[in-house]
């Protein structure tokens, strides 16, 4: 008999939800009312752990550290995953459209399939809030349909076996959550009086809800809506959590790990959901080991997000082009206006890169992030690094980029030293640009106009815009905005 590995690969969390909910239902049978109330209170706390886990990236880092330092929990996770594999391997179900990576990663993979530039497509996507919103809606619906198909298959399998009432109830409860929209991402089946085998009563609901409201802070994190649209959700995609035993477990079940897929240039998307689900289970199982008081303390804690070595370094083992990978993540955070985090992830990429021209692009991007964060001292430092690295570029790029980085340094020095220094430096840049071909000169002049706009030197901005419009080709994408800006100047002058 051939074992089916696709269920544990594509629906590990859903399989775990059925297993965990079934075990919870079993635990509340034939016990006193007081014991049942206590277990439902603990169950409610466990559910809130999952909600916060999917909405608070700083909290994820805290959980990651706790799990990575707990060998007993790691052993428990291995045992549970192998148990779930044993339970599902006999079921002849597979999804024709399994869920792969989400967010910018999915956009890039789609671009590769269509023969487009993945980084350009990701950048266009990240710049457009309307497109992001539509993507999130479409993705949520695709996830719902995929999970419903699987749960329907699981239900049919469960109903074909005898003495299986609690598993059937657990599956139906999860399906109800999905159909009614009460299923907010990775969350256990809601306790519902429609399923009397749960032993759920109105006073237990009241007791559990009262306990939560009386003891937990930050309730907005648990009741927030449209969470996928929040800028902070971009930080989740930057977290790479690989459990110590993960690759060995993948080899045992699938015959190859994520490292093997990258080494053999195969599509790593096949194991994406398995790895995400595995870490979610890890966090939940760790939380189950805590006392009620410890759970409340954990949920009430505040966990600021920071770019950390241990959430980025695992990628070094995958053989990826780290520079372009981190530049993509940096762009994602930049367009989400998370400038400081974008700068930090760029600094990490810079420290790992050895090739000069790649180091240039990283340094310039880091500087721009600090500029938008209004840390002008740090921005100047990185623009000066980028200026030195222009020597690593080919001649055509070097001439242009050197002028641009000089302009960037001058702009940052304005915030440090004032207008006189700024005016003198951009005058020198303008003179040097006149020695260059018209296309390079036009672009440099436009950038000088932008620097003058940002620093409030509108007299110079006007002069440079006039010069740019006389130099630019008619198909130059900057020509239209420049003419509109000049029209505003003329209206004010009139």
User: For 118-175, how does the pLDDT look when each residue is reduced to its tens digit (9 = 90+)?
Assistant: 767 777 777 777 888 888 888 888 888 899 999 999 999 999 988 888 899 889 888 8
pLDDT at 155: 92
**What six digits make up the tokens of 94?**
């597979």
pLDDT at 280: 94
Residue 408 has pLDDT above 60, yes or no: yes
Confidence of residue 492 (pLDDT cuts 50, 70, 90): low
Confidence of residue 185 (pLDDT cuts 50, 70, 90): very low
According to CATH, where is 1.25.40.10 located in the chain?
306-434
- List pLDDT tens digits, range 282-313: 999 999 999 999 999 999 999 998 888 777 77
Highest mean pLDDT (candidates 18-27, 227-236, 424-433, 479-488): 424-433
Q: How far, in Å, are 205, 338, 474 from residue 128 at the CA level?
A: 42, 16, 26
pLDDT at 200: 59
Average pLDDT for 419-442: 93
pLDDT at 173: 84
Confidence of residue 392 (pLDDT cuts 50, 70, 90): very high
Residue 83 has pLDDT above 90, yes or no: yes
pLDDT at 256: 86
Residue 391 has pLDDT above 60, yes or no: yes
Average pLDDT for 429-455: 93
**What six digits make up the tokens of 411?**
């702009």
State the helix-helix crossing angle for 356-372 and 339-352, rounded to 10 degrees. 160
pLDDT at 294: 97
Residue 448 has pLDDT above 90, yes or no: yes
Assigned fold of 306-434:
1.25.40
Q: Which residue has the higher pLDDT, 271 or 379?
A: 379
397 by DSSP, 3-state: which? helix
How many angstroms separate the CA atoms of 351 and 65, rounded? 23
pLDDT at 97: 77
End-to-end CA distance of the chain: 85
Confidence of residue 223 (pLDDT cuts 50, 70, 90): low
Confidence of residue 355 (pLDDT cuts 50, 70, 90): confident
Query: Is the distance from CB of 274 to CB of 15 less than 8 angstroms?
Result: no
Confidence of residue 429 (pLDDT cuts 50, 70, 90): very high
How many of the other CB atoms lie within 10 Å of CB of 368? 21
Torsion angle of the four alpha carbons 279, 283, 288, 294, in this order, in degrees rounded to the nearest 10: 170
State the helix-helix crossing angle for 118-127 and 322-335, rounded to 10 degrees. 10
pLDDT at 424: 94
How many angstroms separate the CA atoms of 4 and 157, rounded? 14
15 by DSSP, 3-state: which? helix
Residue 181 has pLDDT above 90, yes or no: no
Residue 16 has pLDDT above 90, yes or no: yes
Query: Which residues have C-beta within 8 Å of that of residue 263, sequence separation ≥ 6?
Result: 319
Residue 25 has pLDDT above 60, yes or no: yes
Question: Checking phi first, is residue 104 left (phi over 0); if not, alpha (psi -120 to 50) or beta?
Answer: alpha
């Amino acid at each position: 008999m051939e074992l089916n590995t696709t269920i544990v690969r594509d629906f590990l969390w859903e399989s775990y939800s059925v297993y965990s909910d079934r075990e919870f239902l079993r635990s509340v049978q034939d016990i006193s009312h007081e014991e049942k109330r206590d277990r439902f209170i603990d169950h409610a706390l466990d559910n809130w752990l999952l909600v916060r886990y999917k909405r608070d990236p700083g909290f994820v880092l805290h959980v990651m550290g706790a799990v990575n330092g707990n060998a007993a929990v790691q052993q428990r996770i291995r045992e549970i995953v192998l148990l779930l594999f044993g339970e599902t391997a006999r079921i002849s179900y597979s999804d024709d459209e399994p869920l792969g990576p989400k967010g910018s990663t999915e956009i890039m993979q789609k671009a590769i399939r269509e023969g487009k530039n993945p980084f350009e497509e990701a950048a266009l996507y990240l710049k457009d809030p309307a497109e992001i919103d539509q993507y999130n809606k479409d993705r949520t619906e695709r996830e719902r349909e995929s999970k419903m198909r699987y749960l329907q298959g699981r239900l049919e399998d469960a109903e074909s076996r005898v003495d299986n009432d609690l598993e059937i109830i657990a599956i139906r409860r999860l399906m109800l959550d999905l159909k009614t929209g009460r299923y907010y991402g990775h969350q256990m089946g809601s306790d519902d009086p429609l399923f009397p085998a749960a032993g759920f009563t109105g006073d237990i609901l009241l007791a559990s809800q009262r306990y939560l409201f009386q003891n937990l802070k930050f309730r907005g994190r648990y009741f927030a809506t449209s969470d996928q649209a929040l800028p902070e959700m971009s930080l989740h995609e930057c977290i790479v959590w690989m459990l110590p035993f993960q690759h060995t477990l993948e080899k045992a079940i699938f015959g190859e790990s994520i490292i093997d897929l990258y080494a053999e240039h195969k599509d790593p998307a096949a194991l994406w959901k398995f790895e995400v689900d595995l870490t979610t289970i890890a966090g939940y199982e760790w939380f189950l080991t805590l006392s009620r008081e410890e759970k409340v303390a954990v949920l009430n804690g505040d966990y600021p997000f920071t770019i950390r070595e241990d959430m980025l370094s695992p990628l070094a083992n995958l053989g990826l082009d780290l520079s372009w990978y981190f530049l993509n993540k940096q762009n994602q955070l930049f367009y989400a206006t998370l400038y400081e985090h974008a700068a930090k992830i760029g600094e990490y990429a810079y420290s790992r890169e050895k090739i000069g021209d790649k180091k240039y692009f990283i340094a310039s991007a880091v500087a721009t992030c600090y500029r938008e964060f209004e840390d002008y001292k740090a921005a100047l430092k990185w623009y000066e690094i980028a200026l030195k690295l222009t020597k690593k570029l080919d001649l055509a790029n070097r001439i242009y980029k050197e002028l641009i980085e000089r302009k960037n340094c001058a702009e940052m020095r304005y915030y440090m030293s004032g207008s006189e220094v700024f005016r003198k430096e951009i005058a020198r840049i303008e003179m040097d640009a006149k020695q260059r071909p018209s296309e390079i000169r036009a672009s440099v002049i436009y950038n000088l106009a932008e620097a003058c706009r940002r620093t409030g030197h509108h007299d110079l901005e006007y002069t440079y815009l006039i010069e740019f419009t006389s130099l630019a080709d008619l198909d130059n994408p900057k020509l239209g905005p420049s003419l509109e800006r000049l029209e505003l100047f003329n209206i004010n002058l009139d």
